[in-house]
Amino acid sequence: MSTAYKTVTDIAGPLLIVEGVENVVYDELCEIELPDGSVRLGNVLEAREGMAVVQLFESAQGTTIEGTKVRFLGRTFQFGVSEDLLGRVFSGSGKPVDDGPEIVPEMKLDINGAPINPYSRAFPDDFIQTGIATIDVMNTLVRGQKLPIFSGAGLPHNQLAAQIARQARVLKDEEVEQGKMCDQEMESEREGANEEKFAVVFGAMGVTFEEAEYFRNEFERSGALSRAVLLLNTADHPVVERIATPRIALTIAEYLAFQKEYHVTVILTDMTNYCEALREVSAARKEVPGRRGYPGYLYTNLATLYERAGRIKGGKGSVTQIPILTMPEDDVTHPIPDLTGYITEGQIRLDRDLNQKGIYPPVIPMGSLSRLKPGVQNEKSTREDHKGLDNQLTAAYARGVEVRELAVILGESSLGDTDKAYLKFAKRFEDEFIRQGDQENRSIFDALNLGWSLLRELPESELKRVKSEHIKKYMHGNSRS
């Protein structure tokens, strides 16, 4: 039986200062028994000779210096995992909230995970279809990648997150082969092809009750809950739970990927709320603040989450991360998006101007980037024209936006025929390619063919980023566009 210490000397928010302790180590799990007999969990944030700083995972309400006992358990915070987690909804601390039974765990894992040996990492080179054309064609998601979504207040990032979670899937080899044929008769066969083992782990941090209900209802309505695990931390839950939620989500994902050979997509929203929780705890510890009051170890802390994405050589499973963050005041230089950009492999930017035009999803090609997309924009993963078409669409849309700004100053009548073609292309590109319904699941092959149909607005002499044989085959040949 471990020793129960009654030497709590100070309480600061979710933190307890315990003195006179022995053999206590960093991140050790502990039980806090309150004067009323209730027990809450916490862990050690700081340990030195004779003193420990304990962080509660739950509210500190009712905690007093007199009568509170702290018992150190000699182990880290572990979470019980099993395939039975699929189809279930949990609180941010991993407690069932869907009226289902308690999970009987197959094993218990440390929520902080174990680092992957860099030599054992496999390079991400397999395509994930999200059903969203601007992502699949122009900011392609790769298995094992960490690709964040940079959003802003009022933008539909939650709607986009739910759509990705519902629609994301891994294509079978036969689907890719059928897609290359560009034959409309192959469509039904492609839709009926078997999928690989695929799962979604969805972690929401600091969301409102209405947002939590929206996520839950979307998964249940679409039938995607059967292959998903939901962790919902709402704004009224303890701030420290917000710090544990993404770690529990990633622990579940690693178990499903590396033990059960699933391809797992982890969606974490909103990382800004997570970072605000870190700042609040840091202030309670009276740490010296860094940029904008965030702790100096924010970069390191975020890296411990983002770097848990990946694949292992010889293994069939993978963990792909899509963290979502709202940029305060749409400032991409804010510490949260700034540091996230250093750690991850690109970003998907949501644009306020597109959103104000009523275009969903407002993903803007300029400013968005997937650094790993060249590895899957090829004949093996999608289609041989993918890379060139991506480059041509991006360049043509950027030119069209420039022409539109010029037309505002000089008037459209002053434009030449080529510029007018680019202007028309930009309009159609926004209305037909970027815009799609939040329930529309557009295949990568349909999106590629749509891109070729839009390029017909431009003189063929302007198509300098695509190969002539691809123009002949997909723009003038037997395509399903």
CA proximity to 103, closest of 81, 119, 132: 81
Distances (CA, A) of 253 to 82, 111, 390: 11, 11, 31
Task: Write down the architecture of domain 79-374 according to CATH.
Answer: 3-Layer(aba) Sandwich (3.40)
Which of 41-55, 240-254, 266-280 is least confident?
A: 41-55
Q: How many CB atoms lie within 10 A of CB 107?
A: 11
Token pair, residue 438, equals 């939040």
Mean pLDDT computed over 239-259? 93
Query: In this predicted structure, what is the pLDDT of residue 399?
Result: 96
Cβ atoms of 415 and 426 within 8 Å: the answer is: no
List CB contacts of 214: < 8 A, sequence separation 6 or more.
158, 162
CA dist 179 and 445 (Å) reads 6
Check residue 189 and give its pLDDT.
41
How confident is the model over 205-242, as pLDDT tens digits?
Answer: 999 999 999 999 999 998 889 999 999 999 988 888 89
For 150-164, what is the mean pLDDT?
92
pLDDT band of 145, cuts 50, 70, 90: very high
Beta bridge partners of 232: 91, 204
Specify the pLDDT at position 186: 42
Cβ contact 234:282 at 8 Å: no
Q: Which residue has the tokens 């928010």?
A: 13
The ranges of the chain annotated as CATH 3.40.50.12240 are: 79-374
Residue 194, SS3?
coil
CATH topology (fold) of 4-76:
Thrombin, subunit H (2.40.10)
Pinpoint the residues of the chain covered by CATH 2.40.10.170. Answer: 4-76
Q: Is the pLDDT of residue 30 over 60?
A: yes
Is the pLDDT assigned to residue 184 strictly greater than 50?
Answer: no
**pLDDT band at 180; cut points 50, 70, 90:** low
Q: Exposed (0-12), middle (13-18) or buried (19+): which is 404, by Cβ within 10 Å?
A: middle
User: CB–CB of 351/148 below 8 Å?
Assistant: no
Q: Tell me what pLDDT residue 187 has.
A: 42
How far apart (Å, rounded) are the C-alpha atoms in residues 328 and 325? 9
Task: Tell me the three state secondary structure of residue 201.
Answer: strand
With contact defined as beta carbons under 8 Å apart, do 376 and 382 qualify?
yes
pLDDT of residue 226: 92
424 vs 458: CA distance, rounded Å: 9
pLDDT at 181: 59
Provide mean pLDDT across the span 308-318. Answer: 91
pLDDT of residue 91: 93
Q: What is the mean pLDDT of residues 316-324?
A: 93
Q: What percent of the chain has pLDDT over 90?
A: 67
Instruction: Convert the pLDDT of each residue in 254-306 to its tens digit.
Output: 999 999 999 999 999 999 999 999 999 888 888 899 999 999 999 999 999 99
Is it true that the peptide bond before 361 is cis, omega within 30 degrees of 0? yes
pLDDT band at 42 (very low <50, low <70, confident <90, very high): confident
Task: Dig out the tokens for 113 from the structure.
Answer: 């995970």
Among candidates 333, 342, 337, which has minimal Cα distance to 325?
337
Average pLDDT over every residue of 153-174 = 86
Per-residue tokens: 233: 């931390």
Torsion, Cα of 307, 313, 315, 321 (10° steps): 20
User: Tokens at residue 103, please?
Assistant: 């999970």
Q: What is the pLDDT of residue 175?
A: 65
> Contact 88/103 with Cβ under 8 angstroms?
yes
Region 145-166: mean pLDDT is: 92
